[in-house]
Chains A and B, each alone.
Chain A
Amino acid sequence: MKTESEKKAKPWGKVIVLGALSLASYLFLFKNESAVMELYTRGGISTAYPILTVFWFSFTHGAFASNLLSCLGIEAKSSGH
């Protein structure tokens, strides 16, 4: 008999889309490294840039990681503490 997790479809689609988005973000940042570093280290109001950037990476890369773990069958125990 299949377990509940096996019955759920694995979110490979989300993994691919989010993974691509995350990878594109990393490539964009490192391809424009000099400009990014110049802008992000000006101080003052430019503080917003690194803060917003890490939020972006948290949501895209974090969601990618979460879905990847689900696809690999690595999930939390169903009855918690």
Chain B
Amino acid sequence: MKKFVIAVLFVLFPILLSTAAMAAGGAGPSKDMLKGQILSVDAAAHTLLFEKDPTGEQLTLKLPENIAPEEVKLNRKVLVNLVHQEGEHQAEGEPSAAAMREIKDIEIMFLTMTLGRILALMGIGAIGGLLSGFIGSGGAFVMTPAMMSLGAPGAVAVASNMCHKFPKAMVGAYKRWKYGQVDIKLGLVMAVSAIIGVQIGIQIQKFILAAFGGAGSNLYISVVFLVVLVFVGGYIMMDAINLMKGSKAGDDEAKVCKLALTMQKINIPPMMTFKTAKITISAWITLPVGILTGMLAATIAVGGFIGVPGLIYVMGVSAVAATATELVIAFVMGAWGSFQWGLSGLIDIRLTVLLLSCSLIGVQLGALGTTYVKDYVIKLVMAATMLIVAVSRGAMVPSYLIDLGWVQPISPSTLSLLNSLSFWALISALVIAGGIIIVAMIKGMTAGKQAA
């Protein structure tokens, strides 16, 4: 326990120091988003007076045509998303361009908590935690859209989930460390390069947003989802099925793939030995896996979908150790991200702790579940989740293509059908993955009791 706490503090301290620098460098929430409250509305001029948090600076902003002045809520904390503008050229003596910027939309920052929302958050947390404890991936791809569908603004959903992710990952990592599955050294080494990867991912996103706007950004994210989830998920699924067949034929051992064996033979110093992961590998090999994990986390919020397969198939770590070690990376990145979002005051602590109420149980269940199953079951759950989420994201691609004007519009009923398909595919990813985990655990526990 002492070693674990020291490792946690060792990680948190530099994160705290570097966050201030990175926040100044532009990481974190977009500059086209303002937090504060609306003081008054001028219906005739179609503008409103906005007071920014925490500076108290007052701005006059232009209301878009689709928002009626009477719809605007006064004196409540809101998030105002502004229409993106290129670099502003301000002539001398003219009022600041920021005062005349146009609003894209206004979101009430903090949900009213109802019993339905509380129960939904607890349910989402439970299954997301189970998944996280078992396959090392945080479930953010479901939790964030789920919170948004409950009414939370996107930025608040992302911030609150980030703040939930790192303590959950910490508890999951601790449990799996107790089972002897976590390679803390490997996790920390990968986390450093993952943070670099997040910065690269953010810069790419900013470039695409500036070049192609919101619809282009959504399309980019969905294409990344599809490519990674289909190819990587498909590969893992094939591997899991082969292992399952081998297991039934009596060959239980997961073999290290040829690529990983080749990577392990590369002898470029510094060579690093990771005892729990049982590999000795050049530090240079860990860099691209970590960077890609961070880039993917910045793009689709789930670094584990590259991180875990990277650890297994590029570095030759077992599925158990890879999913466990990924929790260390998730903890570091989650802590770092939480500090950044927290600096902007966007964490809704109520959403966070309600998710934690059941995810802390789920993550421990998932963690101990890994001790009852064979390697291929972990791969099976990961692959199934990835492939179903690919369907979910794929269903949204047509709407982004239409928004960009790259394809002809389709009927509203078809669009609505695709939105429903996307939503229910996400839900089914959680339910199916959760079901496989629970069934496998029950089988394993029952077999264990019978053997005793």
A69 B360 Cβ-Cβ under 8 A: no
B364 A81 Cβ-Cβ under 8 A: no
Q: How far is the CA of A40 from the CA of B77 in the complex (A)?
A: 13
Binary interface encoding of chain B residues 365-381 relative to chain A, with 1 for a CB under 8 A from any of its CBs, else 0: 10110111001000000
Q: How far is the CA of A48 from the CA of B150 in the complex (A)?
A: 27
B356 A66 Cβ-Cβ under 8 A: no
Within 8 A of A (CB), among B303-359: 318, 320-321, 335, 338-339, 342-350, 352-353, 356-357
* Chain A interface size range: 20 to 34
- Given that A65-B360, A69-B361 are known contacts, is A51 also in contact with B342, CB under 8 Å in the complex? yes
Q: Which residue on A lies nearest to B53, using beta carbons?
A: A43
Q: How far is the CA of A61 from the CA of B167 in the complex (A)?
A: 11
A57 B353 Cβ-Cβ under 8 A: yes
Chain B positions within 8 Å of A57 at CB level: 167, 353, 356, 360
A36 B371 Cβ-Cβ under 8 A: no
A78 to chain B, nearest CB (A): 8
A81 B318 Cβ-Cβ under 8 A: yes
A41 B77 Cβ-Cβ under 8 A: yes
Q: Residues of A with Cβ closer than 8 Å to B?
A: 3, 26, 29-30, 33, 36-37, 40-44, 46-47, 49-51, 53-55, 57-58, 61-62, 65-66, 68-69, 74-77, 80-81
- Given that A36-B349, A41-B345, A46-B345 are known contacts, is A58 also in contact with B368, CB under 8 Å in the complex? no
Q: How far is the CA of A53 from the CA of B167 in the complex (A)?
A: 10
B452 A3 Cβ-Cβ under 8 A: yes
B110 CB-CB contact with A under 8 Å: yes
B444 CB-CB contact with A under 8 Å: yes
Chain B positions within 8 Å of A80 at CB level: 179-181, 371
Chain A positions within 8 Å of B320 at CB level: 81
B93 CB-CB contact with A under 8 Å: no
The 10 closest A-B pairs by CB, nearest first: A47-B342, A43-B345, A58-B167, A41-B345, A77-B371, A76-B368, A76-B371, A65-B361, A62-B171, A50-B347
A69 B171 Cβ-Cβ under 8 A: no
Do most interface residues of chain B lie in helix, strand or loop, or is the interface mixed? helix
Binary interface encoding of chain B residues 147-174 relative to chain A, with 1 for a CB under 8 A from any of its CBs, else 0: 0000000000000000110111011000
Chain B positions within 8 Å of A41 at CB level: 35, 53, 77, 109-110, 345-348
- Given that A3-B452, A43-B344, A55-B167 are known contacts, is A69 also in contact with B371, CB under 8 Å in the complex? no
* Chain B interface size range: 35 or more
A77 B444 Cβ-Cβ under 8 A: yes
Q: Which residue on B lies nearest to A25, using beta carbons?
A: B353
A15 to chain B, nearest CB (A): 12
Q: How far is the CA of A29 from the CA of B348 in the complex (A)?
A: 12
Chain A positions within 8 Å of B167 at CB level: 54-55, 57-58, 62
A42 B164 Cβ-Cβ under 8 A: no
B175 CB-CB contact with A under 8 Å: yes
Q: Residues of B with Cβ closer than 8 Å to A?
A: 35, 53-54, 77, 109-110, 113, 163-164, 166-168, 170-171, 175, 178-181, 318, 320-321, 335, 338-339, 342-350, 352-353, 356-357, 360-361, 364-365, 367-368, 370-372, 375, 444-445, 448, 452
Chain A positions within 8 Å of B175 at CB level: 66
**What are 22 of the A-B contact pairs (CB < 8 Å)?**
A29-B350, A37-B110, A41-B109, A41-B110, A41-B348, A42-B53, A43-B342, A44-B54, A47-B343, A50-B347, A51-B342, A54-B164, A54-B167, A54-B338, A58-B171, A62-B171, A62-B360, A66-B175, A68-B361, A69-B361, A76-B371, A81-B321
B179 A76 Cβ-Cβ under 8 A: yes
B452 A75 Cβ-Cβ under 8 A: no
Q: Which of A30, A46, A74 contacts B365 (CB 8 A)?
A: A74
Chain B positions within 8 Å of A26 at CB level: 353, 357
A16 to chain B, nearest CB (A): 16
- Given that A43-B54, A74-B368 are known contacts, is A54 also in contact with B179, CB under 8 Å in the complex? no
A37 B444 Cβ-Cβ under 8 A: no
Chain B CB count within 10 A is highest, among A26, A36, A50, for A50
Q: How far is the CA of A36 from the CA of B353 in the complex (A)?
A: 13
B348 A51 Cβ-Cβ under 8 A: no
A26 to chain B, nearest CB (A): 7
